[in-house]
A and B are shown apart, each in its own frame.
Chain A
Amino acid sequence: AQRVTQPEKLLSVFKGAPVELKCNYSYSGSPELFWYVQYSRQRLQLLLRHISRESIKGFTADLNKGETSFHLKKPFAQEEDSAMYYCALWVYGNKLVFGAGTILRVKS
């Protein structure tokens, strides 16, 4: 079965603290994974994807096929990082399967 699991509904950290948003996936094929972000009352937008290996806004994510994980990390959280974060898995048929999302709150 194709599934994306984000175990935390809410992650609350202080400004300057490290952030790790967890994502685990289940997929029989070769996985292609994405992180999308939704700031308050805005459209979802792509944050990063594993194949590009980019660091966007200080966020990185490494695909770990052994642990079937694609956790999103940032060493120092900023208040403007507060948003809803979705992990997504590309599946056959050009579709994305999304996790339930994690709300990140960065406190000052």
Chain B
Amino acid sequence: DAGITQSPRHKVTETGTPVTLRCHQTENHRYMYWYRQDPGHGLRLIHYSYGVKDTDKGEVSDGYSVSRSKTEDFLLTLESATSSQTSVYFCASWTNSGELFFGEGSRLTVL
């Protein structure tokens, strides 16, 4: 199985503060993704990356930015957190067997 770790796993912050979530994978997978999970909406793609320094927007990218300076790390940044960004965030990578492998999730609460 691919190894994906997310940090932090839980975070509480205040409106207007910047937040960075980190995703680290050890399998040298090219494609990586950030999704948010919300009741009634399922998982929605925020941003994804198809290589180092190659990223693109997903369906709910407003208010988020990403960076990928190394194959193994994919960072998600909320420049100025809002309460609507309270969610569970999942990182994933596309494995060599053609499936998405997910991290354990990061629960973010914006007060």
Which residue of chain A has its CB nearest to the CB of B4? Answer: A43
Q: Interface of chain B, helix or strand or loop or mixed?
A: strand
B56 interface hit (Cβ, 8 Å):
yes
Stretch of B13-21, B66-74, B79-87, B102-110 that contacts chain A: B102-110
Q: Which residues of A contact B56 (CB under 8 A)?
A: 93
* B-facing residues in A1-25 (Cβ within 8 Å): 6, 9
Q: Which residues of A contact B94 (CB under 8 A)?
A: 94
- The one of A42, A93, A98 in contact with B42, judged by C-beta atoms closer than 8 angstroms, is A98
Q: Which residues of A contact B44 (CB under 8 A)?
A: 98
Interface size on B, residues (CB 8 A): 23
Interface size on A, residues (CB 8 A): 21
Are the C-beta atoms of B31 and A94 separated by less than 8 Å? yes
Known A-B contacts A94-B31, A95-B33; A44 and B90 likewise in contact (beta carbons under 8 Å): yes
Are the C-beta atoms of A86 and B43 separated by less than 8 Å? yes
B89 interface hit (Cβ, 8 Å):
no
Q: For the complex, give the distance between the alpha carbons of A44 and B101 in Å.
A: 8
Are the C-beta atoms of B99 and A94 separated by less than 8 Å? no
Q: Mark A66-81, 1 if CB is under 8 A from B, else 0.
A: 0000000000000000
Question: Nearest chain B CB to A29's CB is how many angstroms away?
Answer: 16
Of A42, A49, A93, chain B has the most CB atoms within 10 Å of the CB of A93
